[in-house]
Amino acid sequence: MHADLTQVIQLAINGAAIGAIYALVALGLVLTYKATEVLNFAYGDVLMASSFVGWGLIVGLGWPFWLAALGTVVLAAALSWLIDARVMRLIVGQPQFAGVMLTIAIAFMLRGAVSMGFGPESRNYPTPWSDDKTVFGDIVVADLSLVIVAAALLVTLVLFWFLRKTPLGISIQAASQNQLAAYLNGIRVKRVTSLVWAIAGGIAALCGLLLAPTALVDIGLWIVVLKALAAVVLGGFGSIPGAIVGGLLLGMIEQFAGVYLPDGFKDAMAYIVLIGVLIVWPRGLLGEAHGRRV
Residue 12 lies in a domain: no
**Range in 62-71, 76-85, 123-132 with the lowest mean pLDDT:** 123-132
The pair phi, psi for residue 74, each rounded to 5°, is: -65, -45
Residue 231 maps to a domain: no
Q: Which domain holds residue 95?
A: 19-221
Q: Is the pLDDT at 292 greater than 70, yes or no? A: no
The answer to whether residues 103 and 42 touch, using CB atoms and an 8 Å cutoff, is yes
Instruction: Give a yes or no: residue 3 inside a domain.
Output: no
pLDDT 10s digits, 93-104? 888 889 999 999
CA distance 164 to 73: 23
Please indicate, yes or no, if residue 174 is contained in any of the structural domains.
Answer: yes
Q: What is the pLDDT of residue 3?
A: 55
* pTM, 2 dp: 0.93
The total number of structural domains that make up the chain = 1
Please give the Cα distance from 96 to 106 (Å, whole number).
Answer: 16
CB atoms within 10 A of CB 9: 15
Look at residue 260 and tell me if it is in a domain: no
pLDDT at 36: 86
- pLDDT for position 291: 45
CA dist 270 and 289 (Å) reads 23
Q: Comparing 94 with 12, which gets the higher pLDDT?
A: 12
Q: How many Å apart are CA 202 and CA 73, to the nearest integer? A: 5
Residue 288 reports pLDDT greater than 80: no
What average pLDDT does this structure show over 3-32?
92
Query: CA angle at residue 57 from 54 to 61, to 5 degrees?
Result: 160
| Number of C-beta neighbours around residue 51 at 10 A | 29
The tens digit of pLDDT for each residue in 197-255 reads: 999 999 999 999 999 988 889 999 999 999 999 999 999 988 999 999 999 999 999 99
Say which residues have a Cβ less than 8 Å from residue 277's Cβ, sequence separation at least 6. 230, 233, 234, 284
Which among 261, 57, 218, 224 is positioned nearest to 122, based on CA atoms? Answer: 218
- What's the pLDDT tens digit per position in 178-194? 888 888 888 899 999 99
CB count, 10 Å around CB of 230? Answer: 25
Q: How confident is the model at residue 294 (pLDDT cuts 50, 70, 90)?
A: very low
Interval 24-71: pLDDT, tens: 999 999 999 988 888 999 999 999 999 999 999 999 999 999 999 999
Q: Is residue 180 part of a domain?
A: yes
Residue 227 lies in a domain: no
Question: Per the domain annotation, does 212 fall within a domain?
Answer: yes
For 184, 251, 278, 282, 293, the CA distances from 288, given in Å and listed in that order, are: 26, 23, 14, 10, 16
